[in-house]
Structure 1
């Protein structure tokens, strides 16, 4: 019991919690400065998130893609890479799943839905592997290539939808076949038609897979070794180039899955978009909040997704502009990133605890 208490009162556990509290307090100060009531605003925020079965279900729906894009960015970070391209990998995964969901007919659900998931995930992975290949073989910085690939993915996906999948007189694809849908009908009905789907369960399993790959396999050890020190990895006989490509491929698979489930589980079609959805960029913030740890990423996604979904409640319930919630989220990220400020706030607490131990 004492060991469990020490874990939850350690600096590594307390600091992020304090960062979240400081972010919420800073957001409250911004609201006060703007003439808004922070108590009413936060009350409306949490009422929006937990106020009804529908809101709970929609909050879970909003959290799901952030878990996967957060895992995508975190996996790359853990292997010494900076994947800014989760957004493009998300879009390509979505496009691959849409193509399979729309174009293939006559398959049973047990084959059609998994096929769409696998194809979308692989396309997302291959999109990430392009940046990995350019990094490994040509020395091109992955930050540059992934940013460029984000735009290429947007225009390529629009071309594919326009050319092969477009429903006449619409700016979207045909609806996917029912046999490719990952919606959970009975659970959705029970929660007032919230758009719940099997992707949420798979996102949690993906966090487990993340952990198993990196910390329980030889391949994961090599990926982490290359990320820590390329020269030492080469000296140990590891194939550095192969591991860079592999790391970006796996990272892309996670982001591709996020796009897959948005199509197969939420919208059931793909639009001709003027811009990317933003989940990949939000995944960077989620990864930072979670300290690139799979459990931390899940919790960071819960915070980020919950606040994002609940921001509408602040607008309707307390007349607070939804942009305020972005200030709150940005403040939380700021305090997480600047651990020195958090530790300074906690100096009295930790100093008192050290004195108690000494006595």
Structure 2
């Protein structure tokens, strides 16, 4: 029997192997830091202190993690149905337009907690709309979802550039952005959450969308593992032939899955648009859609794992920014290298250590 088909306990599959991969990523990152003449241990200390050492750093870490949770869930939902959605970046971008239109329409008339449900719906609908055409092309014409979704990222980027420059821009301003939302269109900061642990949020833009992201994790878990639709999605992902034999309609499942996936990506926009900047800006997604791919893979496409992986990347983003400031020889580009190594070992090479671990497990267990 090949090592790929040997069953391993969940604590090895979902605990030990990811931890070993993460250790390898940081080990080789340490070699890179050492090669430029800096101490890897001091760099790690500064990175963790910058991300988790004070309330403001924790706030920034959770802010970044919020965006990654949404996009990670988006990718994971699609993967469970055997679809690889590379378009979360564009879907989140268009979702920002949906959230912004709601905020611009209601912020003068109602408080934020009335605006928020409509903004959630608006961002999800616009994100789902961005995923609808690639989904239809996959379901009805056989066009590969990877190709169509990644191409739609460019289409949406051009569309948003036009809208921000020609339609929503504030007259007389050079910056391609909408007007600042009034208080009724802004999500409140979570000062009280950091205050529970005795910290101060400071300038960190951690906001109510973090709680929305956690709720979405629960709903995705219920969808995938506690509903008929989730069972159909997982069946299609494991074996399209078996799904067809069981009478499950391929086109229907693909369409619904991609609409849900696009909607989750679109909701990511709540965090930077209504929570951080209180306006729609150019390229506000900042690569979070692509980071969501790594987050989903690291989290084994499970909401609990996605939360942990998103927190890890939040630490790398915030701690990396602090590290490049405190240790100038480690540039922002080197931080990207470290993030890339984490993605490499925890994503692309996630099963590199599995054969050796299987052999050790068989020797110890006698199986």
Tell me if TM exceeds 0.5.
yes
Q: Which residue of 2 aligns with 1:268?
A: 278
| Structure 2 counterpart of 1:122, from 115, 122, 125 | 125
Residue matched to 1:3:
none
Matching residue within 37, 40, 52 for 2:39: 37
Q: Does 1:173 align with 2:183?
A: no
The answer to whether 1:10 aligns with 2:15 is no
* Separation of aligned partners in 2, 1:111 and 1:174: 20
CA contact (8 A) 1:7 1:13 kept: no
More divergent stretch after superposition (84-93 vs 30-39): 30-39
- What's the counterpart of residue 298 of structure 2? 289
Aligned residue in 1 for 2:213: 203
| 1:154 aligned residue | 157
Q: 3-state SS of the aligned residue for 1:158?
A: helix
Relative distance call for 1:55 and 1:209 in structure 2 (3 A) is same
Partner of 1:247: 257
- State the partner residue of 1:60: 62
Once the two structures are superposed, the pairs formed by residues 1-359 of structure 1 within 5 Å of their partners are 9-104=11-106, 105-168=108-171, 169-171=173-175, 172-184=177-189, 186-187=191-192, 190-273=200-283, 277-319=286-328, 320-336=330-346, 337-343=348-354, 346=357, 350=361, 353-354=364-365
CA-CA distance at 1:49 after TM superposition? 0.6
Deviation at 1:107, TM superposition (A): 2.6
Between Structure 1 and Structure 2, the one with more helix by share is: 1
Q: Give the 3 Å change call, closer, same or farther, for CA 112–248 of structure 1 in structure 2.
A: same
Q: Cα distance, 1:115 vs. partner?
A: 0.9
Deviations 1:110-145 (A, max 9, x none): 322221221111110121122111111111111111
Give SS of 1:102's match.
helix
The verdict on how the C-alpha distance between 1:79 and 1:192 changes in structure 2, with shifts beyond 3 A counting, is same
| Mapped contact 2:187–2:207 kept (Cα < 8 A) | yes
Structure 1, unaligned runs of 5 or more = 1-5
Distance 2:324 2:55 in 1: 20
Taking a change above 3 Å as real, the CA distance of residues 241 and 207 of structure 1, as seen in their structure-2 partners, is same
Assess if the C-alpha contact under 8 Å between 1:84 and 1:281 holds in 2: yes
Relative to 1, partners in 2 of residues 1:214 and 1:49: Cα closer, same or farther, differing over 3 Å?
same
CA distance in 1, matches of 2:244, 2:362: 44
Segments of 4+ in structure 1 off by > 4 A?
6-9, 344-349
> Which stretches in structure 2 are left out of the alignment for 5+ residues?
1-7
Once the two structures are superposed, residues 27-80 of structure 1 have per-residue CA deviations (whole angstroms, 9 ceiling, x without a partner) of 011111222221111111011112221111111111100011011011111111
Distance change in 2, residues 1:153/1:215 (3 Å): same
Contact 2:71 2:289 (C-alpha < 8 Å) held by counterparts? yes
State whether residues 289 and 297 of structure 1, in contact with CA within 8 Å, keep that contact through their aligned partners in structure 2.
yes
Is the CA contact (8 Å cut-off) linking 1:175 and 1:268 kept in structure 2?
A: yes
User: Normalized against structure 2, the TM-score is what?
Assistant: 0.89
Aligned length: 350
1:155 and 1:113, CA in 2 relative to 1: closer, same or farther beyond 3 A?
A: same
Q: Distance in 2 between matches of 1:156 and 1:351?
A: 55
**Distance in 2 separating the partners of 1:233 and 1:288:** 24
Residue range with higher mean Cα deviation, 16-25 or 304-313: 304-313
- Give me the whole-angstrom Cα distance separating, in 2, the residues matched to 1:329 and 1:272: 24
Please state whether the residue corresponding to 1:182 is helix, strand or coil.
coil
Question: What value does the CA root-mean-square deviation take over the aligned residues?
Answer: 2.3
